[in-house]
Amino acid sequence: MRRGSGLPDEQPTAMDEYALIERARNDPEAFGLLYERYVGKIYNYIYYRVGNHYDAEDLTARTFYRALNHIGEYTPRGAPFSAWLYRIAHNLVVNWHRDRQRHQLVSLEEAMLHVPLEHVEDLHQRSEREDEKERLLAAVRRLPEDRQQLLILKFVEGLSNVEIGQIMGRSEGAIKSLYYRTLLSLREMLEETSEGEEKPSHSA
């Protein structure tokens, strides 16, 4: 029976996952079950970091290839298996961006800022909303890499502060603090852009 559907009634227990991981150390078929369970989440995470399907698919494959090669070295240490996969994916994405320093995270717009604008009847209101989204997206792109990662894990993956901390190697308190500082930075950046747009005055 395949277990990759992600249905709520199929959520694995910690013991189930640990037993599957132990099997996967020597049984490729068992690793295939882990792949089916997590490939969607890892792909989404990578896609929102790199901005295109081709590279997301390639990096996802490399993530699981690396996990398969090193699963014998894996130790839980209180964190779920998915945290280990996210860390592998993160390292690959960092290297990918290092090779493409000028690459922009275009897909963050889809991930965090998507609004069903077809429901907005007023064209002027639609234009204003698009402008706000563009300003927010531009501000997000100016954030340090770790803060962008935090926002993706929180808003795209829907992870808790504890889970994010396990992936980023920080305490829950540190993640809360980083999130608060990130929101403050975003607000300051947006206020700066708003003030810049309001400066031109009507002169007779």
Tell me how far apart the alpha carbons of residues 74 and 68 are, in angstroms, rounded to a whole number.
Answer: 10
C-alpha neighbours within 13 Å on the C-beta side of residue 17: 18
Q: Which CATH architecture describes the domain 105-197? A: Orthogonal Bundle (1.10)
pLDDT mean across residues, the chain: 77
Most confident region among 61-65, 124-128, 139-143, 154-158 by mean pLDDT:
61-65
Report domain extents, the chain. 1-103, 105-197
Q: What is the CATH number of domain 1-103?
A: 1.10.1740.10
Of the candidates 101, 99, 110, the residue with the CA atom closest to the CA atom of residue 156: 110
Single pTM value for the model: 0.64
C-alpha neighbours within 13 Å on the C-beta side of residue 24: 23
Q: Among 27-41, 45-59, 116-130, 161-175, which is the least confidently predicted range? A: 116-130
Tell me how far apart the alpha carbons of residues 56 and 68 are, in angstroms, rounded to a whole number.
Answer: 18
pLDDT at residue 201, rounded to an integer: 52
Per-residue pLDDT for 3 more than 70?
no
Structure tokens at 139: 């501000």
pLDDT at residue 132, rounded to an integer: 72
Who wins on pLDDT, 97 or 88? 88
Residue 116 burial by Cβ neighbours in a 10 Å radius (0-12, 13-18, 19+): exposed
Structure tokens at 38: 């997590």
C-alpha neighbours within 13 Å on the C-beta side of residue 204: 0
Of the candidates 121, 117, 97, the residue with the CA atom closest to the CA atom of residue 109: 117
